[in-house]
């Protein structure tokens, strides 16, 4: 069996998100997707604000499954804090997640350069 060539997409969309957490925070994000699996990913940050949760920065990360299997547990409070688990299924999804995480890391690096 011949594996299909892994395709990539360089389409990047700039977005503006309003986060309704303990405060109302505005965050500029970048979003893209993997054209083989349909995995969508988005990242952004307010940059460093010099504080903790109450007065510090915010980071927004979003992964949205496409063609492959996707499972998650919602935010869960544990004795050690909060937890979010995301499980993707499928061989090509491994490459898509690696691409998504590289994209998210690059976006956060760009937005926090000093």
Average pLDDT, the chain: 76
Residue 1 lies in a domain: no
Residue 4 lies in a domain: no
Q: What is the pLDDT of residue 7?
A: 54
Q: What is the pLDDT of residue 38?
A: 78
Q: At a CB cut-off of 8 Å and minimum separation 6, what does 80 contact?
A: none
CA torsion sign for 9, 11, 14, 17 is negative
User: Is 27's pLDDT higher than 70?
Assistant: yes
Average pLDDT estimate for 51-77: 71
Residue 40 lies in a domain: yes
Q: What percent of the chain has pLDDT over 90?
A: 16
Average pLDDT estimate for 84-89: 62
| Confidence tier at 48 by pLDDT (50, 70, 90) | confident
Residue 104 lies in a domain: yes
Q: How far apart, in Å, are the Cα atoms of 5 and each of 35, 94, 95, 100, 111?
A: 12, 14, 12, 18, 32
Residue 7 lies in a domain: no
Residue 78 lies in a domain: yes
Q: What is the pLDDT of residues 28-47, one digit of tens each?
A: 999 988 877 777 888 888 88
Residue 65 sits in which domain range? 13-111
Tokens 């699996």 correspond to 37
Residue 5 lies in a domain: no
Rounded CA separation 62/64 (Å): 7
Buried b (16+ CB within 10 A) or exposed e, 59-95: bbbebebeebebeeeeeeeeeeeeeeeeebebebbeb
Residue 60 lies in a domain: yes
pTM for the model stands at 0.68
Number of domains in the chain: 1
């Amino acid at each position: 069996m011949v594996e299909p060539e892994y395709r990539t997409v360089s389409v990047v969309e700039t977005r503006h998100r309003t986060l309704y957490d303990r405060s109302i925070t505005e965050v500029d994000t970048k979003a893209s997707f993997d054209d083989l699996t349909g995995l969508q990913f988005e990242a952004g940050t307010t940059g460093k604000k010099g504080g903790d949760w109450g007065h510090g920065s915010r980071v927004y990360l979003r992964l949205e499954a496409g063609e492959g299997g996707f499972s998650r547990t919602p935010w869960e409070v544990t004795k050690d804090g909060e937890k979010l688990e995301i499980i993707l299924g499928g061989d090509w999804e491994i490459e898509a997640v690696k691409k998504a995480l590289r994209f998210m890391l690059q976006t956060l690096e760009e937005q926090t350069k000093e």
